[in-house]
């Protein structure tokens, strides 16, 4: 079956929005840049390697829970539409597709991603593997366009990989509120959540012994340099991943090795860094069940199911609207 592609944001919008977010981030305190800089072609390959490292427990643990619970999820939701907030490249979404096809309910797959190239390529693969499915790919931003997705049938939204942990607290609140207003009475949202545990294990997932995580982060700086003409000196920025016990999250990025000024010609910007000043490239929040349930309630959602692995490292949360 062919793929229907609906475009809600074009390349010009993406490019200008990224530049504006980068400009605002480099002017902010603390300084930060959008994590999307990490995911050029090489960065995506590096991240794929990272997910297979012993230290990076998130991917394999989430998959283990899915393998154990996916039939229950399909039976509980009876979804005829699977909406994936992401590109559809992971094996995990195929577990959900297979289970819902096996349940006899699935008719439609709707992936949403801001990158049209990645989205279309992955959607075409799904269409080839599941020829009976209608595949409706939407080029858009999950923080802005949930309400524009096809609102037909019983929908299961999948937001896996603890991607929600990459949102700052305020952005996470807005996202959950948007979900609550977008879900119909028969819809559900399946979330992957990395749980609070030994901080040393958490940090190791973002600063592994092989150095792949550092390569991944440094490639992001190189991508920024190529695109915006900036002159980040790799030798003068030290990779860091630090646990913040108050926020219960990992702060990921770099520390300036000495006072320096970074020039960003295409933003007409000079960025001064003090010695040891931080540049954040991302955060990864970790969750506690009771506290996250409070976040859901505040947004107008509630837990229908909460599944964890044997070590209580990771959780899948099936959520619905409060009726």
The mean pLDDT value for 259-283 works out to 98
Asked whether the beta carbons of 137 and 3 are under 8 A apart, the reply is yes
Residue 209, token pair as written in the block: 């012994």
Q: What angle do CA 303, 306, 308 make, to 5 degrees?
A: 160
Give percent of the chain with pLDDT exceeding 90: 83
For the stretch 119-157, pLDDT in tens is 888 899 999 999 999 999 999 888 778 888 888 899 999
User: pLDDT grade, residue 116 (50/70/90)?
Assistant: confident
Dihedral sign from CA coordinates of 73, 74, 79, 82:
positive
Please state, in angstroms and rounded to a whole number, the distance separating the CA atoms of residues 281 and 285: 14
User: pLDDT grade, residue 41 (50/70/90)?
Assistant: confident
pTM for this prediction: 0.94
Please tell me the predicted confidence (pLDDT) of residue 88. 61
The mean pLDDT value for 203-227 works out to 97
Dihedral sign from CA coordinates of 112, 299, 69, 250:
positive
For the stretch 291-312, pLDDT in tens is 999 999 999 999 999 999 999 9
Q: Which residue has the higher pLDDT, 116 or 276?
A: 276
Please tell me the predicted confidence (pLDDT) of residue 143. 78
Please state, in angstroms and rounded to a whole number, the distance separating the CA atoms of residues 96 and 259: 50
Please state, in angstroms and rounded to a whole number, the distance separating the CA atoms of residues 175 and 170: 9
The mean pLDDT value for 217-243 works out to 97
The CATH T-level fold of domain 54-198+286-321 is Rossmann fold (3.40.50)
Concatenate the DSSP letters of all residues of 226-264 into one string. HHH-----GGGEEEEEEEETTTTEEEEEEEESSSEEEEE
Phi, psi of 268 (to 5 degrees): 50, 55
Which residues make Cβ contacts (< 8 Å) with residue 170, sequence separation at least 6? none
Q: Is residue 91 over pLDDT 90? A: no
Q: Three-state DSSP class for 55?
A: coil
Please tell me the predicted confidence (pLDDT) of residue 87. 74
Asked whether the beta carbons of 3 and 120 are under 8 A apart, the reply is yes
Please state, in angstroms and rounded to a whole number, the distance separating the CA atoms of residues 302 and 297: 6
For the stretch 145-189, pLDDT in tens is 888 888 889 999 999 999 999 999 999 999 999 999 999 999 999
The mean pLDDT value for 217-232 works out to 97
Q: Three-state DSSP class for 312?
A: coil
212-240 residues labelled b (16+ CB within 10 A) or e (exposed): bbbbbbbbbbbbbbeebebebeeeebebb
Give percent of the chain with pLDDT exceeding 70: 99
Please state, in angstroms and rounded to a whole number, the distance separating the CA atoms of residues 60 and 309: 11
Please tell me the predicted confidence (pLDDT) of residue 1. 64
Query: What are the residue boundaries of the structural domains of the chain, listed by start?
Result: 54-198+286-321
**Residue among 44, 60, 215 nearest 122 (CA):** 44
Please tell me the predicted confidence (pLDDT) of residue 53. 97
**Mean pLDDT over each residue of the chain, to the nearest integer:** 94
Q: Three-state DSSP class for 162?
A: coil
For 32, 79, 163, 216, 238, the CA distances from 59, given in Å and listed in that order, are 26, 24, 11, 17, 27
The HSE-up count of residue 227 (CA atoms within 13 Å, CB side) is 16
């Amino acid at each position: 079956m062919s793929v229907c592609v609906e475009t809600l944001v074009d390349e010009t919008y993406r490019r200008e929005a990224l530049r504006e977010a980068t400009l605002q981030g480099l002017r902010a305190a603390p300084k930060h840049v959008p994590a999307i800089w990490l995911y050029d072609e090489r960065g995506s390959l590096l991240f794929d390697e990272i997910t297979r490292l012993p230290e990076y427990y998130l991917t394999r643990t989430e998959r283990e829970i899915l393998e154990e619970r996916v039939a229950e999820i399909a039976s509980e939701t009876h979804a005829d539409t699977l909406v994936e907030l992401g590109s559809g490249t992971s094996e995990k979404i195929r577990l959900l597709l297979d289970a819902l096809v096996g349940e006899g309910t699935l008719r439609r797959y709707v992936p949403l991603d801001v990158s049209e190239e990645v989205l279309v390529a992955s959607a075409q693969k799904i269409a080839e593997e599941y020829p009976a499915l209608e595949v409706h790919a939407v080029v858009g931003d999950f923080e802005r366009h949930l309400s524009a997705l096809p609102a037909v049938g019983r929908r299961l939204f999948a937001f896996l990989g603890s991607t929600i942990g990459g949102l700052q607290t305020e952005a996470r609140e807005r996202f959950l509120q948007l979900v609550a207003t977008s879900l119909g009475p028969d819809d559900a949202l399946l979330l992957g959540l990395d749980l609070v545990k030994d901080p040393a294990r958490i940090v190791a997932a973002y600063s592994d012994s092989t150095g792949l995580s550092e390569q991944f982060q440094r490639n992001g700086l190189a991508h920024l340099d190529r695109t915006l003409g900036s002159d980040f000196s790799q030798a003068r920025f030290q990779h860091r991943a630090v646990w913040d016990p108050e926020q219960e999250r990992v702060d990921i990025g770099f520390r300036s090795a000495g006072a320096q000024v970074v020039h960003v010609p295409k933003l007409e910007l000079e960025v001064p860094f003090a010695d040891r000043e931080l540049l954040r490239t991302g955060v990864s929040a970790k969750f506690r069940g009771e506290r996250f349930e409070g976040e859901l309630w505040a947004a107008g959602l509630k837990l229908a199911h909460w599944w964890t692995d044997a070590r209580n490292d990771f959780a899948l949360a099936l959520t619905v609207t409060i009726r």
